Amino acid sequence: MCGRFAVTLPPDAMAQLFNAIPANDLPDVPNFNVCPTTQIHVVHDLDGRRLVSMRWGFIPHWYKAPNDGPLLINARAETIAEKPAFRMACRERRCLIPTSGFYEWTKDEDGNRLPWYITRTDGEPLVMAGVWQDWERDGVAWRTCAIVTCGANAPMSRIHHRMPVILPSEDWAKWLGEAGHGAATLMQPAPEDALAFHRVSPRVNSNRASGPELIEPI
């Protein structure tokens, strides 16, 4: 799964990277501890490429309230086309979620959670595949999203058995639907040499922690 990440790229740089028009209500950056249910940066192509803010935590249309069911921060690639929550979004509402890197945890022999920070080996932004959904009830409206995950590649499997679907720039248009069909073929683990890993401070175990020291190696 992917349950926490960092974003350091300024919004104007993100907009330029994706050739997208930025919204005016984008979340503040840098944020070294992006948590579920907060607003995150997302690129969609509903009416041309747009860099917008969405709630991280997909809300299916039948939920009567945002907390009416499980918190859906991830969508499994293996079942995304079949699950009622994600089926239509997978076909019609795919998006890109730009990050600088994400966190995952192992445990030591005493059960202590040991955080790792995972980035691209080339230092470029790490762009995850996502799906999004509009939800509205009683005058309250949210635009929400989830990160698509797949089975881990061999290096990542030493930390966790799953990983986000990571899209190189040449696949962005296909995932967004701009380059025709074939998005399903992109839901694969990243190449084994694509990612770098390092241990970071247990401070990030708290969702209240902040600051650039969270991603520093220890």
- Return per-residue pLDDT of the chain as tens, 218 residues: 789 999 999 999 999 999 999 999 999 999 999 999 999 999 999 989 999 999 999 999 999 999 999 999 999 999 999 999 999 999 999 999 999 999 999 999 999 999 999 999 999 999 999 999 999 998 889 999 999 999 999 999 999 999 999 999 999 999 999 998 899 999 999 999 999 999 999 999 999 999 999 999 99
pTM given for the model: 0.97
Q: What pLDDT is recorded for position 2?
A: 86
- Structural domain boundaries in the chain: 5-215
Query: Which CATH topology does 5-215 take?
Result: hypothetical protein yedk fold (3.90.1680)
d(CA 13, CA 133): 25
Rounded to the nearest angstrom, the gap between the alpha carbon of residue 56 and the centroid of all alpha carbons in its chain is 8
Active site residues: 2, 104
C-alpha torsion angle, residues 49, 53, 55, 60 (rounded to 10): -30
CB burial class (10 A; 0-12, 13-18, 19+) of residue 122? exposed
Handedness of CA 131, 24, 168, 120 (dihedral sign): negative
pLDDT single digits (tens) 58-108: 999 999 999 999 999 999 999 999 999 999 999 999 999 999 999 999 999
